[in-house]
Structure 1
Amino acid sequence: MSGPVVVLVGPMGVGKSTVGAILAERLGVTCRDTDQDIVEQAGKPISEIFLDEGEPHFRELERAAVRRALAEHTGVLALGGGAVLAEETRALLAGHPVVFLEMGVTEAVKRVGLDAPRPLLVINPRQQWRKLMEERRPLYTEVARLVVSTEDRTPDEVADEILAALQPPSTQPEKQQ
């Protein structure tokens, strides 16, 4: 199957774009972010798409962006936090090397902040984030081949773990006995 060398999924603020850029550099490929694809296509930030056209319209744009990226891109691909909500997207991810980057609510609040322009976290961000994760965690784990915690770790450390897991067993160093 052709397509991305790795697909990163996980909640907003977990570091998909940052880790994706590091992975792409180390692998000698490009990194693509479907949220950025949507912003470029729509000509405005995601928060404005939510306000102007609503979440259903945004999710439609998101499904199309993921479909295109999976078909066209051969580097590292970072998906928006809610991309896995679509059954179509989950089906398209089957067979791809998907990595779920995870973190807890305390870390999320530190990274995302309470005043960031995140349309789904406008009212009571901690409670909203927990609710989103209750809904999405099973979907992230459904599509993922690998789950990597980003808690108290640098993006380089996360990238190291992903790269080690992506290496076929024959290319990994043998353990000394």
Structure 2
Amino acid sequence: MKSEFIIQPSLLDFDKPIADIEDIRKFNPQRHEMEQLTAILHEDLESHSCAAYKQITDKEFWVRGHMPGMPLMPGVMMLEAVAQLSSYYTQKHDLLGAAMVGFGGVDEVRFRGVVVPGDRLILMVRLDKTRRGRMIVASFQGVVGENLVLEGCLRGIPIPIEAVTGQLAGGSNAASTK
């Protein structure tokens, strides 16, 4: 059974992104090798859906070691890219009411194909539930060409920035103090 796309990939215009990396950085804190979005291509406020892409190059930090001679984008990096797209949309439209959105979990994840250098990974999310101050729940897909390579459900949660910075300033975490 073939899944229906959240947004039809053929409708996306890669020549006219609506947000580039500088625009993404206004809403997402990731930098350097952890930036997993190239550009935002589409937003629909009615359906709470959006699409972006990540251009996969042979310069990605994981290429050398995952796997030598057969560089496959790690599934965890695909999930990070989807999380960053969800965070971008959530923060841009202040849907969670949080200073920062973090990974809350993933469900029903399926990897259906490989992603390698030279590919353009199209990412699509649709927010299915938003509980301001608590959580977002989003369906997601990853596509290369017209092939579905990734799908599942993601949860995003507010990150308690003050608690994290306080923990870092103390030089320890709860697990290491016991």
TM-score by length of 1: 0.26
Query: Structure 1 or 2: larger strand share?
Result: 2
